[in-house]
Amino acid sequence: MPESKLFTPVTIPTKAGKGLTLRNRVVLPPMCQYVIDKQDGVPTTWQLAHLGSMAHGGFSLVIAEATAVAAEGRISDRDAGLWNDQQVEAWKPITEYIRSHGAAAGVQLAHAGVKASTYGWLKELEDQGKVGSLSAEDGGWETFTSSAEDLYGLNPGTEMTVEQIASSVQDWSEAAKRADAAGFDLIQIHAAHGYLIHQFLSPLSNKRTDQYGGSFENRTRYLREVVQAIVKVWPEHKALGIRFSGEDWVDGGWRIADTVKIATELYEYGVRAFDLSSAGIGAFHGPTGPGYQVPLAQAVKQALPEDAFVTAVGVITDAVQAEHILVTGQADGVSVGRAALGDPQWPNRAAEQLGAQKSHPPQYWRGRW
């Protein structure tokens, strides 16, 4: 059998140093856990066990859940954060553990904007009817956004002033410094799924008339400022990535051509890892099914220089399917989310199936694959 592309190591280039080498091309995408019931954004032993098991499972890059750059930017009060030093200390043993099992540790920095202050998406809360915006009695807080459009059926957000935008950019920068101190190898900027950055990017949610709204140049200004602020503080030997919603799947919304254009600009700033998801503004209008977002990754990959690491995500569940995406040049790697929740050993099983080297802990040598 020819060598598997999925299990060929790859290096995400960095501004200085050797770059971030991944042992294979299977990435764990960020997945909110909503387990922090102390409401302090401090990760717990759950994050250690959960993310650690993904490192055991053979993932080459384990990206921690959407981690808020500011308390008000949490999707729910059970989210993780990086807005204070207590959180940094709690992340440290987690990043060390992930690395000690051969994976790189990534974190998705995030701000939910108007989609903050919800109950989070936990089955047990949904069963109690606790969905959508947190009530005031349950501790709901004021949310902030690009412009106050009602697209989500959530409590309306407050339109950010230019001063609030500047202060928010500063939050991203401080969180990036803390991500470094916490030992993360890669930051993934969350620009997808209808959260704050996407709320600025999309003409559906951004109706501002100042320098942050209107033209493509203006709608992308907040993102460009965030990226530039992070680039200034993020060590040059560490890798920088971003997750986009490549498509709103709606006429007059944020389209793949817009994503390709901004991805090309951000490459110039030093972003080298690009993960292509979709949607999140208002109701879902897109296609679904196996690999449905792969064409978005392909479009970005075609537009970027060869050394960019572009990953596809969304209903990639099977080793042969993943290998095919790479062999046909549609992406450089895959992110496998829900299938990993069902089977944290997904990469090792895929390696077995494709005749490649597994990377489980040695004490699992008698495992059945």
* Binding of ligand FNR by 277 (CB under 6 A): yes
Nearest distance, CB of residue 310 and ligand FNR, angstroms: 15
For the CA atoms of 361, 363, 366, 369, what is the dihedral angle to 10 degrees?
A: -20
* Binding of ligand FNR by 337 (CB under 6 A): yes
The correct pick among 5, 74, 190, 360 for binding ligand FNR (CB under 6 A) is 190
Which of 119, 195, 222, 267 is an active site residue?
195
Give me the residue whose beta carbon is nearest to ligand FNR: 337
CA distance 164 to 170: 10
Nearest distance, CB of residue 236 and ligand FNR, angstroms: 25
Closer to ligand FNR at the Cβ: 22 or 312? 312
The correct pick among 89, 139, 338, 357 for binding ligand FNR (CB under 6 A) is 338
Give the list of residues 6+ apart from residue 209 with CB closer than 8 angstroms, or none.
none
Element (H, E) at 154: none
| Binding flags for ligand FNR, 48-67, as an x/- string (CB under 6 A) | -----------------xx-
Distance of alpha carbon 113 from the chain centroid: 15
Q: Given 3-state DSSP classes, what are the helix, strand and coil percentages for the chain, each rounded to the nearest 5?
A: 35, 15, 50
Query: For residues 301-320, which are near ligand FNR according to CB under 6 A?
Result: 313-316
Is position 195 annotated as part of the catalytic site?
A: yes
Query: For residues 11-30, which are near ligand FNR according to CB under 6 A?
Result: 29-30
Please name every residue paired with 105 in a beta bridge, in sequence order, or none if there are none.
Answer: 62
Nearest to 205 by CA among 277, 157, 275, 267: 157
- Distances in Å between the Cα of 64 and the Cα atoms of 78, 224, 323, 350 are 14, 23, 24, 22
Residues that bind ligand FNR (CB under 6 A): 29-32, 65-66, 108, 190, 192-193, 243, 277, 313-316, 336-339
